[in-house]
Every structure is written in C-alpha cells, then in structure tokens.
C-alpha cells in the first residue's frame, strides 16, 4: 500500500517553503504527497511581497476532492492566514475523520514577514490545535500561542509546551532553531515525557523553509506507520542534514532553501 500524506498550506513561489517544501520532503522520504493550497504568496529568498488568500469554499472543495479519493495516512497543516480558512480546514478534517495531524502554526516567515492575522490565533487555538497529534511551534510562535515572553531556556520551552498541551494536542514539539547556543535543541513534550532532540547548530543563512520541512518530515514518518517519537527523531536528522547540504545549492540572493534531495543529488 502506498503511504500518502497531504499538506494543507500556502504556496511559496520561490520554492523553498510551504507547499513546495512539503511535497519535496514527502518525495525525498518515500511518501506520495497531495496538497490543499490555502494561500498564494509572492515570495523569494529575500522575503514575501504579497499574499493572496484562497477562498474558504475552494479550500473546502480541495479537501473534499483529495480526501474522498485518496487513502490519506497523515496530514501536515501549515499556513492558514485567515479565520475562514481555519474554519474550512477544521470542518473538512472533522468531516473526513482525519488522523495523524501535524500542525505547524506558521505565523512569521524566516524573513520576518507576518503570515497569520492576529484574530486567527484564537481560532487556531480553538479549532485546530486540539485535533493535532503534534503541534510544532518555533520559539516565537510558542510565545505568541501562550502570550508569554520568548523562551530563554529549556525550562521556559517546557513550560510553554505544557501550556499548549493544555489546549488538547497529544504532543508539542518546540523548536529551538532560533536559539543562540552551539547546540540546536528541540523539546518534544507529551504523554508524560520530555524528549530532547539535539543537533549541532550549522552556520549558514540558507534555512528558508526549515519549519515546514521538519513538520512535513514528521508527517511522512507517521504516514509510513512510524510512531510519533521515532518520526520526530528521524525528522530532526533529515532536517539537520538538509541544512548541512544547503550551501551546496546556489539559489537566490537571500535566505536560500534547504537541500531536500541531498541523499540523491550528488
């Protein structure tokens, strides 16, 4: 049986993040990828210059088309910039009894551009976070979701993860990639456990799409039947190696993309 994952996210016209990064990740990890596009961005390695939101009714049409035909094993949710889009996705997932939902609460692009409307944060908390097997905020997103200052330590990260857990997901993975230590530490908190996912911090500006890639790599693992903790470990390794190979790509003048196909491109 073919493992299938669906990404519900925004399109990155520069190809480094969003839908494009998710589909590359699924393909690189041996999973068939399908997509539901929630927004179009005019974007490159230097930043976002425009966002065109897909109407909620067309998001619904895409969800119904995909889930009524494909045997979906896992779902990754990324950019949902407006409340109607969140409503449409939550209703669609409920209608199709979707399992293995990985929610990446995309709020700000690597370039610093805000991608989530302020009034959409509450809708995200109420309607989608409780449906997720895991939520994967970075430090800035975790602070925004908990109305707290930016975490300065692993103790702060764990405390914010537990606040998000109280909203109903099974796990929270807080990503420490925006930290300043030599080691990049992510904390996976859930079901009574705290798991440290560590890797060396790589000195490169080419990190565009890192969060998208991590969450879609976790979804790929779940689609193949791997348990969540193992999927998170394997995703951390994949992303670290894709970042390490990123400087081998010569794409754009700003924050370039990861090398998603480093295992097969020589």
Taking the alpha carbons of 181, 158, 146, 12 in that order, is the dihedral positive or negative?
positive
Q: How far is CA 25 from CA 19, 36, 38, 146, 259, in A?
A: 10, 16, 19, 29, 10
Catalytic residue from among 25, 41, 146, 210: 210
Residue 90's H or E segment, with its range, is helix 83-95
Active site residue 237: no
User: Which of the residues 15, 211, 221, 256 is marked catalytic?
Assistant: 211
d(CA 80, CA 36): 11
Q: Is 207 a catalytic residue?
A: yes
Among candidate residues 14, 92, 209, 221, the one labeled active-site is 209
| Among 74, 82, 83, CA closest to 103 | 74
Known catalytic membership, residue 211: yes
Cα 210 to the center of its chain, rounded Å: 8
Smallest Cα–Cα separation from 165: which of 153, 176, 157? 157
Strands 171-174 and 183-190: antiparallel
In the block, residue with structure tokens 């299938």 = 4
Query: Is 210 known to be catalytic?
Result: yes
**Set 136, 175, 177, 190: catalytic member:** 175
Selecting among 45, 212, 213, 221, the annotated active-site residue is 212
Per DSSP, the residues of 135-175 read E--BHHHHHHHHT-PPP-SHHHHHHHHHHHHTTS-SEEEEB
212 in catalytic set? yes
Q: Is 60 a catalytic residue?
A: no
Q: Which residues are catalytic?
A: 175, 207, 209-212
């Amino acid at each position: 049986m073919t493992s299938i994952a669906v990404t519900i996210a925004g399109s990155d016209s520069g190809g480094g993040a969003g839908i494009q990064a998710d589909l590359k990740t699924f393909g690189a990890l041996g999973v068939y990828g399908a997509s539901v596009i929630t927004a179009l961005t005019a974007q490159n390695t230097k930043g976002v210059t425009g966002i065109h939101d897909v109407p909620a009714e067309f998001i619904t049409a895409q969800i119904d088309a995909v889930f009524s035909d494909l045997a979906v094993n896992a779902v990754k949710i990324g950019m949902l910039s407006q409340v109607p889009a969140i409503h449409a996705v939550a209703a669609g997932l409920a209608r199709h009894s979707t399992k293995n939902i990985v929610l990446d609460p995309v709020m700000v692009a690597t370039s610093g551009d805000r991608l989530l409307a302020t009034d959409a944060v509450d809708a995200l908390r109420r309607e989608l976070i409780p449906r997720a097997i895991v939520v994967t905020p970075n430090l800035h997103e975790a602070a925004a979701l908990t109305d707290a200052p930016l975490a300065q330590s692993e103790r702060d990260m764990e405390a914010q993860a537990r606040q998000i857990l109280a909203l109903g997901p099974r796990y929270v993975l807080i990503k420490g990639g925006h930290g300043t230590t030599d080691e990049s530490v992510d904390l996976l908190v859930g079901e009574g456990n705290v798991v440290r996912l560590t890797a060396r911090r790589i000195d490169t500006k080419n990190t565009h799409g890192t969060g998208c890639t991590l969450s879609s790599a976790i979804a790929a693992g779940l689609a193949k039947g791997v348990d969540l903790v193992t999927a998170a470990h394997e995703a951390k390794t994949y992303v670290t190696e894709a970042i390490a190979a990123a400087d081998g790509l010569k794409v754009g003048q700003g924050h370039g993309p990861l090398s998603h196909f480093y295992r097969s491109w020589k």
